Amino acid sequence: MVTAIPQQLNYKLVGNGISKVVAIVDDDLETANDTRYDLEELGYQANIITGFHENVRILAQQIHESAYAAICDHKLRDGGLADFYGSELVACLYDLKTPSILISQYPDDKHSTIGAYRRKIPIFLTRDEANSMSLKDGIEYCVSELGGKISRERKPHRTLVRVERVGKEFGEDVVEAFVVGWRPRQAVRFPVSLIPEEMRETLGKGSRLVAYVNIGATKSEDLFFEKFELAPQLNANDGLA
């Protein structure tokens, strides 16, 4: 049964226990129900979000007030559910300290519309990776991070970023660069939008930037970038060269 988001507490008494409500945000009813079955197997009460939502912050606040956690699909426009991406919704829920997992069957978006919000997406799963155990582990991981326990893989460090090129990927402006503190010979991509506007005009091959990056990440798609600045002159003692 599909239900609209309830205006209620995020815990529902069931017999002698408590079932935690988890919101499902997915424009595909079939995959939404697959997620619902996985959550119910774990003992959660699943609520599938319906209707059309234009304002990401309003929906995030409603979920925050009515659910313990959320499972969000990335592309929500095709099915007419929302006028924004799931990545943006998860980022808003992160600010509200609501555990949230992002799922997408389009992993190529990880460098663009997902990458733009990766700092506030603790758990990203492909559709094939999503199952009851990965959802359970993901929710627990989010709870831990929102409680202040940042894992080594998610802890940001100041490092040098050397730009190789600036171009487009699936219609989005992206930077291809080498992260010196991560794997200095492996190029990675991230959205140009993460870099302050005043720094973009001169951005190109050979540009040297400094950013905070989670260099403990094991996969490039798990990297996030923030707090960009122009790199200082080379200094053997600054830990960046």
CATH code of residue 43 = 3.40.50.2300
Residues 196 and 216 reside in one and the same domain: yes
Whether 75 is covered by a domain: the verdict is: yes
Residue after which a domain boundary falls, among 121, 146, 171: 146
Residues 22 and 81 reside in one and the same domain: yes
Host domain of residue 81: 11-146
Whether 236 is covered by a domain: the verdict is: no
Looking at residue 111, its pLDDT comes to 84
Residue after which a domain boundary falls, among 146, 171, 189: 146
Looking at residue 66, its pLDDT comes to 94
118/114 Cα distance (integer angstroms): 6
Whether 6 is covered by a domain: the verdict is: no
Residues 18 and 135 reside in one and the same domain: yes
Residues 32 and 82 reside in one and the same domain: yes
Looking at residue 95, its pLDDT comes to 98
58/92 Cα distance (integer angstroms): 10
Alpha helical stretches, state H, the chain: 29-41, 56-66, 86-95, 132-146, 197-200
Residue 30 contacts by C-beta under 8 Å, 6 or more apart in sequence?
none
Whether 240 is covered by a domain: the verdict is: no
Q: Does the reported pTM lie above 0.85? A: yes
Looking at residue 19, its pLDDT comes to 55
Residues 134 and 216 reside in one and the same domain: no
Whether 126 is covered by a domain: the verdict is: yes
Residues 105 and 125 reside in one and the same domain: yes
Whether 239 is covered by a domain: the verdict is: no
Whether 136 is covered by a domain: the verdict is: yes
Q: Are 74 and 86 in contact (CB under 8 A)?
A: yes
Residues 121 and 137 reside in one and the same domain: yes
Residues 21 and 90 reside in one and the same domain: yes
Residues 18 and 82 reside in one and the same domain: yes
154/173 Cα distance (integer angstroms): 25
Looking at residue 171, its pLDDT comes to 81
Residue 186 contacts by C-beta under 8 Å, 6 or more apart in sequence?
178, 220
Residues 21 and 58 reside in one and the same domain: yes
CATH number at residue 202: 2.40.50
Residues 174 and 129 reside in one and the same domain: no
192/171 Cα distance (integer angstroms): 12
Residues 128 and 24 reside in one and the same domain: yes
Whether 77 is covered by a domain: the verdict is: yes
Residue after which a domain boundary falls, among 146, 166, 189: 146
Number of domains in the chain: 2
103-121 confidence digits (pLDDT tens): 999 877 888 899 999 999 9
pLDDT block averages, 10 residues each, the chain of length 241: 40 46 97 98 97 98 96 96 98 98 88 94 96 98 97 98 92 94 97 96 96 97 96 68 50
31-38 contacts at long range (C-beta below 8 A, 24 or more positions apart): 31/73, 31/127, 32/2, 32/73, 35/71, 35/103, 35/130, 35/135, 38/130, 38/131, 38/132, 38/135
Looking at residue 108, its pLDDT comes to 76
